[in-house]
Each structure stands twice: as structure tokens, then as C-alpha cells.
């Protein structure tokens, strides 16, 4: 019986270790994603600060997008009303 209990404990330890390994892998994946996002954010900040025209162009694109979105919503409402 001692040998089977020992094997059972060993099996339980292995299951726990595998669960911890999976959790660590998931945490590492999340850290990698966060690192990529932080790098992109930093790059964007540097690009905007070194080129003020880029800020103006982005604002112009955002305004155009919002106008387009508003027109699309109006057209959709008109189609629904018909």
C-alpha cells in the first residue's frame, strides 16, 4: 500500500506542477502582450512629439471619420424608416 500511496502523491504533485506551469505560461503570454502594447504606445508618443504635423493629420483623420460615421448612421436610420 505504501508504494501506491507514494505513486498517488507523486501523481498529485505532478498535476499541481502542470497546473502551475500552465498558469505561468498564461501570465508570460499576458506580459508579452503588455510589453508589445507598451512599445507601440512609446513609439507613437515619440513619433507624435517629434513630428507636430502628424498630430494635426491624426486630428484631421479623426474628424473626417466622425463625420463619415455620423452620415452612415443617418443613412442607416433613413433605410430603417423606409
Please write the tens of the pLDDT for every residue from 25-40.
999 999 999 999 999 8
Place of cell 515619440: 46
* pLDDT on residue 63: 93
pLDDT at 67: 94
pLDDT, tens digit, 9 for 90 and up, residues 34-81: 999 999 888 888 877 787 787 788 889 999 999 999 999 988 888 778
Beta-carbon contacts of 55 under 8 Å, excluding residues fewer than 6 positions away, are 48
CB 55 within 8 A of CB 48: yes
The domain locations on the chain are 1-50, 52-81
Amino acid at each position: 500500500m505504501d508504494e501506491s500511496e507514494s505513486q498517488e502523491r507523486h501523481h498529485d504533485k505532478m498535476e499541481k506542477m502542470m497546473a502551475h506551469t500552465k498558469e505561468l505560461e498564461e501570465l508570460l503570454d499576458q506580459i508579452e502582450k503588455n510589453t508589445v502594447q507598451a512599445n507601440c504606445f512609446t513609439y507613437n508618443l515619440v513619433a507624435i512629439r517629434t513630428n507636430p504635423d502628424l498630430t494635426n493629420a491624426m486630428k484631421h483623420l479623426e474628424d473626417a471619420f466622425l463625420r463619415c460615421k455620423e452620415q452612415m448612421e443617418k443613412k442607416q436610420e433613413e433605410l430603417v424608416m423606409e
